[in-house]
Amino acid sequence: ALLYPVSYALGMGESHSHKAVESFMCGTPMVTYRQGAMQEVVDEGVTGFTVYSEPEFLLAMKYVDRINRVACRERAISRWSQPAVLGRWLPAMRRVCQGDRW
């Protein structure tokens, strides 16, 4: 597993983690704190665990080997492969070019 015990001040977390995606693409789950984008990047129980505290982190480390590495990789491919990302971004960029704002 990728153990990522990084903690940020409120509002200062990563907007996205390439470390997480690279880990998942290899079928390697992740344990990290539930901060910033981690709660959106990690699929709980499928690609890893996000936790709130050090005791929870230590507990998650005991269960991370229960995650199916093939399912972890498959979920990563479905979310983060080039075709998956382009399938989401190209329509969004077309809408922006047509004047949409969000």
Local confidence pLDDT in tens for the 102 residues of the chain: 999 998 877 767 666 788 999 999 999 999 999 988 888 899 999 999 999 999 999 999 999 999 999 999 999 999 999 999 999 999 999 999 999 987
Please state, in angstroms and rounded to a whole number, the distance separating the CA atoms of residues 14 and 36: 5
Sign of the torsion angle spanned by Cα atoms 3, 19, 12, 42: negative
Predicted TM-score (pTM) of this structure = 0.82
What is the predicted pLDDT for the residue at 6? 85
Chain-centroid distance, C-alpha 61: 17
